[in-house]
A and B are shown apart, each in its own frame.
Chain A
Amino acid sequence: MYNYNVDALKALFKDILSANTSEDVLNWLLHEGNFNTRFVMVPRKTGKAALQISREQADSLNALIPGFSLNGWSIDMLSRAWVLLSLDATDKNEYFRKLEQLFLAAEVNELFSLYSSLPLLAYPDMWAKRCAEGIRSNIGNVLEAIMYQNPYPQKYLDQSAWNQLVLKAFFTGKDVGKIQGIDARANKELAYVISDYMHERRAAGRDINPSLWRLVGPFIDEKLIEDVKWALHSGVYVNEKAALLALTQSDYPAAVELLNRYPELRKAIENNQITWDGLTLEFQH
């Protein structure tokens, strides 16, 4: 049912919960009751303080579910995840029905918790459609719950849903550097769509997020190199640096040759003075 050791995770969560709540609240959390009501009522019981987690606990968590962390989580989020883990998953259909009902009637904080908890759910394949639906949301926090520090999408979304996630991240001004697997799942189809997107931005006279280039770099060919050439002559320094950084990801002969024409910037890249994260910061200011 689960693709990780759920009993070990529950034990770890229980440790973290007991260190972050009073005994009364812990007892309430441990006590079984109506699943829906418990899930909804969590913040009334737990409050919303930020979680305190030890280094060891964070490491154990990452060992159990690689890429998953409670960084930035509050006590109500963890408690809701705990309630989700208390749901009997033996009957797959019933398990799906009950969780879908939560999604359908969820308010914004519940949605945030639910999507942040996708990596914890049983039958992980079963939630790919739900995750893709979440990406259609226009609610910023919901998108961030899926896009940031969440190992689920990288592992379970098919390519078209993945590409939608990445494009939506750009359209909604998200920090794509926080998407797990952003480079690992780069693909040619996405690179071409991004090239079209950059053309639209250019036509509209709007600026271009330098992070777009990291998805183009590995697929540079005779068409995409024209975009690089445009950027190098755009007169916008952040564009130029991003385009050169993209060239370093490419084996395409014309790309290698083009990069060699900028020895100083190439050197700066090699010395890690120009990085995607650095360019993102520069772009935002």
Chain B
Amino acid sequence: MCCTHSFEDRQSIDKDNTPVDLSGIAGMKFFDPHVHMTSRTTDDYQAMADAGVVALIEPAFWLGQPRTGLDSFRDYYSSLIGWERFRSSQFGIKHYCTIGLNSREANNEPLAEQVMEMLPLFIYKEGVVGIGEIGFDDQTAAEEKYYRAQLELAKEAGLPVQIHTPHRDKKGGTTRSMDIALEHGLDPHMVIVDHNNEETVKEVLDRGFWAAFTIYPFTKMGNERMVEIAKQYGSERIMVNSAADWGISDPLAVPKTAALMKLRGISDEDIRLITYQNAITAFAQSGQINEADFATGAGAIDQSQRFEGNTVLRGGQQPRVDKNSIIIS
């Protein structure tokens, strides 16, 4: 997820302008376990599919501005399991989501109470692979209250938890998030701690949790730093995601990181674990991920949906547009 950064910041960064070359990872499959597609354009889906992203998880997020009523939460959760899932399927990308009350939104307590009542309607839906993203932002008492309540919900439903760790006081907030999860009796193997960095990763792994890294320009991890972490810690229980959203972010962060890892000598198997398999292993504990739905490549068809052989475009996929042509027809 995003935080503030100005256009000027971006201008002032001295950049290495190595062009993107994804040829080293051609044929590899990627799973982006954290990306807010509702904030992205349909062109991003196409670019992700082209780069080898076959499945993704969209965690429930805040809107960028406060939601003022229950219905806007309902519509948002519905879009994650409805429209967004369909939009994704048009590019052969399997769309999963995690459902939860975002920490920022926990601070509006009267509304948070109503949302908590509604959550059970959504968490048992097909393709809901966890409770998330939940955790701390300001680390207020209200945030803690609803974080704890949602941990209980996850435990009851047998779902993994996707934890957002705070931008400010990250190290303390990460430790505290894990302490509380253990206090509620969650198995660390059911908890994915997100937005790690060099300072938090060791404790997260030592305590048996999954460590996710968000490759997000300026505010979180860069992928060069990620390569160093992979060299130091290996690939066990480590995964990367883009957390692309309405901020300046990159929906191709996972394939680009894989490409950089490849260039810098990380083994293919470690790349596969970090950019694909570990996320599946962690979130498949929900019972809601069937790798066969996407592992065979674009356009795998859900057997529960009628498929009519009336078009070359499978499952409602869109025809391609040639972006290199000046002609738009």
**Complex CA–CA separation, A105 to B82 (angstroms):** 9
Distance in Å: Cβ of A98 to nearest Cβ of chain B: 13
Indicate whether A236 reaches chain B with its CB closer than 8 angstroms: no
CB neighbours (8 Å) of A43 from chain B are 126, 304
Distance in Å: Cβ of A19 to nearest Cβ of chain B: 18
- Quick one: CB contact mask for B78-92 with A, threshold 8 Å, 1 for yes? 100111011000100
CB neighbours (8 Å) of A50 from chain B are 303
Distance in Å: Cβ of A81 to nearest Cβ of chain B: 13
Q: Is the contact region of chain B dominated by helix, strand, or loop, or is it mixed?
A: loop
Pick the residue among A41, A49, A76, A107 that contacts B82 (CB under 8 A).
Answer: A107
Given the contacts A44-B287, A141-B86, A284-B312, A107 and B125 also touching, CB distance less than 8 Å: yes
Asked if B86 contacts A105 (CB within 8 A), the reply is no
**Complex CA–CA separation, A73 to B86 (angstroms):** 19
Asked if A37 contacts B315 (CB within 8 A), the reply is no
Distance in Å: Cβ of B90 to nearest Cβ of chain A: 8
Indicate whether B4 reaches chain A with its CB closer than 8 angstroms: no
Residue among B74, B82, B85 with max Cβ neighbours from chain A (10 Å): B82
Given the contacts A104-B78, A175-B308, A40 and B125 also touching, CB distance less than 8 Å: yes
**Complex CA–CA separation, A44 to B308 (angstroms):** 25
Q: How many A-B residue pairs have CB under 8 A?
A: 84
Indicate whether B18 reaches chain A with its CB closer than 8 angstroms: no
Asked if B126 contacts A173 (CB within 8 A), the reply is no
Asked if B81 contacts A104 (CB within 8 A), the reply is no
Indicate whether B306 reaches chain A with its CB closer than 8 angstroms: yes
- Quick one: CB contact mask for A25-49 with B, threshold 8 Å, 1 for yes? 0000000000011001101100011
- Quick one: CB contact mask for A104-133 with B, threshold 8 Å, 1 for yes? 111111111000000000000000000000
Within 8 A of B (CB), among A171-199: 173-175, 178
Given the contacts A44-B287, A140-B316, A105 and B121 also touching, CB distance less than 8 Å: yes
CB neighbours (8 Å) of A144 from chain B are 306, 308
**Interface size counted on chain A using CB atoms at 8 A:** 37
Report the interface size class on chain B. 20 to 34
**Complex CA–CA separation, A49 to B311 (angstroms):** 24
Distance in Å: Cβ of B284 to nearest Cβ of chain A: 14
**Complex CA–CA separation, A22 to B310 (angstroms):** 34
Select from chain B the residue with minimum beta-carbon distance to A48.
B304
Asked if A105 contacts B315 (CB within 8 A), the reply is no
Residue among B78, B83, B86, B304 with max Cβ neighbours from chain A (10 Å): B304
Asked if A105 contacts B122 (CB within 8 A), the reply is yes
CB neighbours (8 Å) of A174 from chain B are 310
Indicate whether A253 reaches chain B with its CB closer than 8 angstroms: no
CB neighbours (8 Å) of B287 from chain A are 44
Residue among B126, B302, B311 with max Cβ neighbours from chain A (10 Å): B126
CB neighbours (8 Å) of A105 from chain B are 74, 77-78, 121-122
Indicate whether B255 reaches chain A with its CB closer than 8 angstroms: no
Indicate whether A272 reaches chain B with its CB closer than 8 angstroms: no
Asked if B303 contacts A141 (CB within 8 A), the reply is no
Asked if A36 contacts B82 (CB within 8 A), the reply is no
Asked if A108 contacts B82 (CB within 8 A), the reply is yes
Indicate whether B305 reaches chain A with its CB closer than 8 angstroms: yes
Distance in Å: Cβ of B5 to nearest Cβ of chain A: 34
CB neighbours (8 Å) of A205 from chain B are 329
Asked if A111 contacts B82 (CB within 8 A), the reply is yes
**Complex CA–CA separation, A108 to B78 (angstroms):** 9
**Complex CA–CA separation, A106 to B125 (angstroms):** 8
Asked if A108 contacts B303 (CB within 8 A), the reply is no
Asked if A108 contacts B86 (CB within 8 A), the reply is yes
Asked if B304 contacts A72 (CB within 8 A), the reply is no
Distance in Å: Cβ of B327 to nearest Cβ of chain A: 12
CB neighbours (8 Å) of B302 from chain A are 48, 109
Indicate whether A148 reaches chain B with its CB closer than 8 angstroms: yes
Asked if A178 contacts B125 (CB within 8 A), the reply is no
CB neighbours (8 Å) of A112 from chain B are 304-306
Indicate whether B124 reaches chain A with its CB closer than 8 angstroms: yes
Asked if B304 contacts A139 (CB within 8 A), the reply is no
A-B contacts, 16 of them at CB < 8 A, read A40-B125, A73-B306, A105-B121, A105-B122, A106-B82, A107-B125, A108-B82, A109-B126, A109-B304, A139-B316, A140-B86, A140-B90, A140-B316, A145-B306, A148-B308, A284-B311
For the complex with contacts A49-B303, A141-B315, A144-B306, 11 further pairs of A-B residues with Cβ separation under 8 Å are A105-B78, A107-B78, A107-B85, A107-B125, A108-B85, A109-B305, A111-B82, A138-B83, A141-B306, A141-B316, A284-B311
